[in-house]
């Protein structure tokens, strides 16, 4: 049973069709890198999976929850699907520990002691144990992004979605964030990530999905697909990003 299943998903913004009948699955433990030019529908795809955007056609099922069904419980869905964005969205007035333990207390109804212990574990997992009491403005961009990952992990999701989480970072900070993702991959976390980091996609992802003009243009094993693209569109995209 696939953890994520999309069938013929259509998404429009007004007259603009951004997703043109997307069908795909993600299996438990898979790491899927979604690549493609700006405007190809990559981020919209993730937002539809997490019910942040309604779809105009097709069906999405995530971990047994039919996201697109009328009256679907989106809170239950978001308790199982972690999502990390390009912007860190941390609460500036809360320290790292309180940023991370807020959702487990509110959504999972954990006690303060339980949530604090969980926050400590998750913050240590992203390599920031010494920053537990720091505030966001005392952290670098890379550290803030790692806290955002810890905050998502604290909900103990079954799948993590990452939307270009390194694109706003200085090049020297990208590595520390990717290292956290490599650690999650080693632990068997199911992940879908929209990324421009082709080496990471090639070395860490199992699969690459190349989106082009709202459709899945290529979908295959990561190394094979990136080293020997089948279509001129993917070849030209790779030439542009690897120049």
Contact 62, 159 (CB under 8 A): yes
Q: How confident is the model at residue 243 (pLDDT cuts 50, 70, 90)?
A: low
What pLDDT digit, counting tens, does each position of 31-90 carry? 999 999 999 999 999 999 999 999 999 999 999 999 998 888 888 888 889 999 888 789
> Is residue 93's pLDDT more than 70?
yes
Give the β-pairing of 207-212 and 31-35: parallel
Q: Measure Cα distances from 70 to 54, 60, 63, 66, 128 in Å.
A: 11, 12, 17, 9, 41
Q: How confident is the model at residue 5 (pLDDT cuts 50, 70, 90)?
A: very high
Provide the whole-model pTM.
0.92
Q: pLDDT at position 241, please?
A: 85
Alpha-helical (H) ranges within 32-134 are 42-49, 74-80, 96-106, 112-125
Q: Give the residues across from 192 on adjacent strands.
A: 32, 161
Cα–Cα distance between 68 and 73 in angstroms, integer?
Answer: 10
The arithmetic mean of pLDDT across residues 154-171, rounded, is: 90
Q: pLDDT at position 22, please?
A: 96
Q: What domains can you pick out in the chain, each with its CATH number?
A: 4-89+158-241 (3.40.50.300)
> C-alpha 141: how far from its chain's center?
17
Whole-number average pLDDT of the chain? 92
């Amino acid at each position: 049973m696939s953890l994520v299943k999309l069938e013929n998903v259509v998404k429009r913004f007004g007259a603009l069709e951004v997703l043109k009948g997307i069908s795909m699955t993600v299996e438990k433990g898979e790491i899927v890198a979604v690549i493609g030019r700006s405007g190809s529908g990559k981020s919209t795809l993730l937002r539809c999976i997490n019910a942040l955007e309604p779809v105009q056609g097709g069906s999405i099922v995530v971990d047994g929850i039919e996201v697109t069904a009328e009256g679907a419980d989106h809170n239950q869905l978001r308790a199982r699907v972690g999502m990390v964005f390009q912007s860190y969205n941390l609460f500036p007035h809360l320290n790292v520990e309180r940023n991370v333990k807020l959702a487990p207390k509110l959504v999972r109804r954990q006690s303060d002691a339980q949530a604090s212990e969980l926050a400590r574990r998750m913050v240590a997992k992203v390599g920031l144990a010494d920053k537990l009491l720091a505030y966001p403005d005392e952290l670098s961009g890379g550290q803030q992004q790692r806290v955002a990952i810890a905050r998502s992990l604290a909900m103990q999701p079954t799948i993590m979605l990452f939307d270009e989480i390194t694109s706003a970072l200085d090049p020297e900070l990208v590595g520390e964030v990717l290292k956290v993702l490599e650690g999650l991959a080693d632990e068997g976390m199911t992940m879908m990530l929209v990324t421009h980091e082709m080496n990471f996609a090639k070395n860490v992802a199992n699969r690459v999905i190349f989106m082009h003009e709202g459709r899945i243009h290529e979908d295959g094993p990561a190394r094979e697909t990136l080293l020997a693209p089948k279509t001129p569109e993917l070849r030209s995209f790779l030439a542009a990003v690897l120049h």
